[in-house]
Amino acid sequence: MASEHADARFRSALAPLMEQFIQEKRACGYRYCEAARTLAGFDRFLSDQALPPGDLPWSITGEWLVKQPHEGANTHRHRISVVRQFTLFLFRQGYRADVPNALLGARKEAEFCPRILTRAEVGKLLQAVDRLTPTARSPLRHIIMPEVFRLLCGCGFRLGEVLHLRLADVDLQQGILTVRNGKFGKDRLVPPAPTLVLRLRKYAEHFGARPPEAFFFPSPHGGPLSLRTVYFLFRKLLLQCGIPHAGRGKGPRVHDLRHGFAVHTLLRWYQEGADLEAKLPLLATYLGHRSLAGTQRSLHLTAELFPEITARTNAAFGDVIPRRIAP
């Protein structure tokens, strides 16, 4: 019998299986909240369909997966991903379900074009942020922002991960930062460079004793700094550094600092003669990637920026940098 929670949430003939699927995901450590809401939307659609017994045909699934007129590309891809995972689950359960093609709604190559700052440009950016002065609206930005940007440039954090760090997540004795409920619902431990840990210790001393639930980088009101605050400052810093900006959504973006960290880390390993194939899983874990796919995008980008890497690395280690498949 399906749980009361399932009956209250799902209405279609697949309600018990949807609840079982969500429980399986959460048992693996995923929060699975946003995806569960997406699945509930799919369930509402299925409630109005005449589902064949024991079957989920593409004629029904495909109708729900059609991109809506005002739906963003990322939202559309998310819906496809959730339904694809669910249909794979149904298939494993012995249910006749047509699994959506993995390439359906795939990100176009042109969408992935981060602007990687050179080491010199990163140096200019950090020098500019170190010259910040307090303002009436941001009286502590000259203290907070240098450390925020060093974590972005030096650890490859997502901006939201940095801004939502709490005091309890920052162990400055062991030199470990804990990212809780990351992008894919999992926690991870990140050890910054020792020099950065020393900076963070001095930063923490400025605030004195605070409760463990306090945000490590607080806004003037005590909550987390807003993404918009950092985005706006980043654009101003680029202007001061003479680094051209191609316009909204084209970069450089704050998130490109994360890509830059990955690219420069791979380049350093290559120059040191490290086995990139063995190192990639380490970088994927450090960055909080769910799989190697995200890390391999950085490897592709590294090869494009430094073309000599592809031939020399593949000669030494085999086809570590997979060839792109034309669409």
Give me the DSSP letters along 96-132. Answer: EEPPPPTTTTPPPGGG----PPPHHHHHHHHHHHHT-
Per-residue pLDDT of 25-71, as tens digits, reads: 888 877 888 889 999 999 999 999 888 888 899 999 999 999 888 88
Say what the pLDDT of residue 165 is.
Answer: 96
Per-residue pLDDT of 166-213, as tens digits, reads: 999 999 999 999 998 766 667 889 999 999 999 999 999 999 999 999
Q: Name the strand (E) or helix (H) holding 171.
A: strand 170-171
What residue type is assigned to position 156 of the chain?
A: G
Alpha-carbon separation of residue 230 from 129, 144, 209, 224, 226 (angstroms): 11, 11, 26, 11, 7
CA 198 to chain centre: 27
| Structure-token pair, residue 250 | 């084209």
Question: Which pTM was predicted?
Answer: 0.60
Domain locations in the chain as residue ranges = 4-106, 119-241, 256-317
C-alpha 221/C-alpha 180 separation (Å) is 22
Q: Which CATH class is domain 119-241?
A: mainly alpha
Say what the pLDDT of residue 248 is.
Answer: 66
